[in-house]
Structure 1
């Protein structure tokens, strides 16, 4: 099974990307309403981390059923899958990162969430008038998008998945080398005060789940639909 999901160009409405949500769906809905998001024709693409930290984590499954909402698997969804599958976790760290709501669920409910999270792709590719836009949770370890997509076929190496979901290296070293084959790559994972662009990589987790705001990036023209001062 490929861990890449592709979407044709949206000819009826607009496409947007959003950073980490972390259980704050009502805040996100308010910002979507403020930009006039129309679920009948518009689509929202998420960099993952729908759960942990916020009070509305159980709503993640409802969002994943919406035809206008599409998300990659973030590291927090991966943690839930690892727990249910019997993999090793640092449980004190998992709880500190907001996973207590999940660990305290009955085993049957944990399994229901984990089954759905396990089916989330690791990468999304969206056609736009200016060329393809990609999404992964944290970063792309490859110099080209095609190379990453080829490696996300069948059995994905754990090291590759970990890089896509956990890496902060690009931001730490200010690596502005672009990812070939993409108009833009959209990532989250690392909360920032404002959107930051390195090469063609857009880091859009601006802490809407914390004390910041959700940055909604319009994919047709790569503009912030709800830009605030400084962005």
Structure 2
């Protein structure tokens, strides 16, 4: 139906002329809850696509299910900081990772760990999706440059491995925009979609849309689906929850 072209760390998708495109916030091993959100939105896997801002694993009870989800032809994630732990499992700060939900990985056999790492290493740092209204960019946390073209160039043709690591870390870890309420947008995009920072409701700063509404926190959060064509969210308003953020 739709061809994709992967160039290094940026994955590009042509417009979806057969169905709808959605983006979803951090999943963190809660795929049953995610499927329920998709069902509620009438998601049709035959024609629709789901783009994920990353952080597929850690914290939730269904982290191992991620392999099944990565095999779905309609599911397309970028790499989040927690996913990057998996890629670097033999060199990362294991103590910090386990503290932040990575204990599931420590219990895997060595061969399984390597298989997870290999699949996660294939996740792009950035995704761009054509829509009838313009180009949509997706990264986990933020774009560290004022233009999408500059980010693409830095990821595809880095001047050094050190520079690449700095750029990738910013894409996967930065909370500067949301913490400082920066409203400058990203040139070259209709919208940039990010997660990483859990919020009570989606927030838009300039043309950057933050959609991690903590669907991975049972009773406290919910999954937001963003229609990439209309930029409308599902659900349109925040549902009633058992608990709120502290």
> How do 1:62-73 and structure 2 match up within 5 A?
62-73=68-79
Asked if 1:218 is matched to 2:224, the reply is: no
Query: Given the two structures, how large is their TM-score scaled by the length of structure 1?
Result: 0.95
State whether structure 2 residue 37 is matched by structure 1 residue 34: no
Corresponding position of 2:109: 106
Q: Which residue matches 1:202?
A: 209
After TM superposition, the structure 1 = structure 2 runs for residues 25-104 of structure 1, keeping only pairs within 5 Å, are 25-84=31-90, 87-89=91-93, 91-104=94-107
By relative contact order (CA 8 Å, sep 6+), the higher-ranking structure is 1
Q: Tell me whether 1:129 sits opposite 2:136 in the alignment.
A: no
Q: How far apart, in 2, do the equivalents of 1:23 and 1:154 lie? A: 33
2:170 aligned residue: 163
Distance 1:170 1:224 in 2: 21
Match of 1:153 in 2: 156
* Structure 2 alignment gaps of length 5 or more: 1-6, 240-246
For residue 154 of structure 1, report the CA deviation from its aligned partner.
5.0
The CA RMSD over aligned residues, in Å, is 1.2
Q: TM (normalized to structure 2)?
A: 0.90
Q: 1:95 to 1:56 in 2, by over 3 A?
A: same
| Equivalent residue number for residue 19 of structure 1 | 25
CA deviations on 1:2-31 (whole Å, 9 max, x unpaired) are: 100000000010000000000000001011
Give 1:141's aligned residue: 144
